[in-house]
Structure 1
């Protein structure tokens, strides 16, 4: 935690105005790990303008992809911070970090086997969820799948994100040492056509990698809970992967390292799944989208719709 003295923030978690502090999205105590030390060697807190592509309506009411730069961010993940109030940072966030460190330190720093209880799994799932929610604050507003109610609920009674399925695993791949990401998109029920410029994403996956400990979350709207099974089928069925949420069971960790390439392949496959089910949007009006959705819900393949309505 870093305190920005004399300045205040409307906290994105609790919603209260308080003294501004900086919360590291990838826990600061993990800077002592070998992966973080290697990554940050000879760096000096460089900052970059991270570009993002968002949909905006043009003067003709057609959605167009527009590149925006929300602001400068730390170049390296361990240095990325978001502004939260001091009460949250020094209160429940600090307690959660201490609890997660107490659970993981034996494995991360000493290589020992952990005997995880149901409570341990819930703590790790909550810690990862808090980390993802903090990281999501660096994204464009409608690309943040967490709602204001989600942030308030986390601050008042920390627990995993509703609708989430969280898996815990051990991987020795390079990307399993320092990593975090969220890929999200909007899933519509078909009852109405959402405004893509204003409606937040509600479906996707996230991953958090800390010194070969990896947590992966998939999340979907409540009305489409069955879809969660297709987002990470190989990981969910692996005997080396443990369920951290919901309904965790006591278990040793790790059960073994995932085969080389498993994690990288998951990230590629998950992105390909998103692209495969995605419907065309750019260049279409709200009425055009209504027609696309109607055809989709009547069984037309998304790939066919992309060829028919996608931009040339």
Structure 2
């Protein structure tokens, strides 16, 4: 089930493909659709960002929200967790007709976001474990509710049938039940608030504000985890990449592992850095603000300010403090 907006876009794509088949390849048109209703039943490929394996699916309906509804196994096969991350779909004929490795870049990452492989079937045992935890039962037995008093682990609740218990059987593909019916899978909001925010700083600020509203969530612990698992590795990785960066000619595109003493390309044009100071310290101000506002501990605070001092040592504390290689010639 895809967004209506996506359906209208795919109708335009169908018309383009039909025109391409007739006028360029001399074949008969394939889709012959004029509206979204006529597109129902056609095959698409789902491709998650930064991957190279497309998963075949079938359009069965539309929704006004900006979301793609499908079984967890289908999303998991694309290596998505169905948690609000970006996703993409394309017409199967489009990917078969207009794909060529010659279109792909030879740079690092050039093979990503292209359907190098197409998986026609979704095999549940090849999906990620998260998708196997979906309940497929009509009711939850009394034993399940009684086990909540013992605060047992979710993995110990064997009385509830999940997809994992059907792996290897014929019922792993069908007969999925649910406990409560509903007239709508969507809410009054057409898209998540997360997708309406522009910068990553705005998104993180909203996440922290939500954490402050929830009694069972410790905002300081959440901030500490984000700093240790995202911000610090990002800053350190970008600083390391800056030290190992190459330099590229603005004219011919030739790449240099080190800046030549003449500071120009052999063709005489200017060389520019491939990694800028802004990309290195893009999360530094956020990290400083967080460690000053929340109780993240002396260790986390020390790591951030140590990284800040290291960045100042590399770039200088103000604009123009950085020396040129020719200053020492």
Structure number with the higher helix fraction is 2
- Largest Rg, 1 or 2: 2
Q: TM-score range by the shorter chain?
A: under 0.3
Structure number with the higher strand fraction is 1
The alignment's TM-score, normalised by the length of structure 1, stands at: 0.24
